[in-house]
Copies of this chain bind each other. A is one copy, B any other.
Amino acid sequence: MAVKAHIAEGGGIIRGAEARIPEKIVARLSMYRRILRDDPEGMPDTVFSHRLAALTGGTAAQVRRDLMILGVTGSTSRGYDVRDLLQKIGQALDEPGGQNACLVGVGNLGRAILSYFETRHPRLTIRAAFDIDPAVTGRVIHGCRCRSVDTLEQVVRDEGITVGVITVPGDQAQGVADRLVQAGVTGLLNFAPRPVRAPHSVYVEDMDITASMEKVAYFARRR
């Protein structure tokens, strides 16, 4: 059960938290962490793979695989030590100095996301929100100060923001994305019903709600 070494593209050897973790696994690790923290019966001391699987809708084997790449190791009689697990997940996912994000478009969707992040994530904080509507700029919504989009470049640079969340109407999404990238953001989470393009150096995740809806409708019929 030694810590497994992974071979990186370059040929170099990288261990544990240093290795690049596949997308889906990153998402699940984030989920495991939240599930454990939010457990209604208080955070347990230890957890079995099949319990985590049941809580997250996966399989026990998948959970074990995911945890394997972190180098966490469980006991056959007690499962995984939750404290250790959380520490290893944090080590893998979090930037030690923390990361800053901003959100553009303080409509219903933007407000919903701001409220999700109001209970401050220690290592990932939404530092600013931007809108064009003077009715919201200047206000503090869900604990986040809203400013005019005119100040976007300035604020992104000053606050060291590396992640941008786009919750504007579809026809403005690409323009906002371009400005965010120009200002130095390297990750984009786009909720507009239209994919955005960015240079290869920027990671883009499009959350297409309409497409998800149609996907669910499609598979809802095939069961």
Contact = CB atoms under 8 A, between A and B. Distances in A.
Contact of A107 (B112, B188, B202, B208): B112
A45 interface: no
Interface in A184-217: 185-189, 193-197, 201-217
A72 to B, nearest CB: 18
A129 interface: no
**How many copies of the chain does the oligomer comprise?**
2
A8 to B, nearest CB: 11
A101 interface: yes
Given A197-B57, A217-B95, A220-B186, A27 B112 contact: no
Contact of A108 (B115, B165, B171, B187): B115
B107 A214 contact: no
A93 B218 contact: yes
A136 interface: no
Given A31-B195, A195-B55, A213-B124, A221 B99 contact: yes
A20 interface: yes
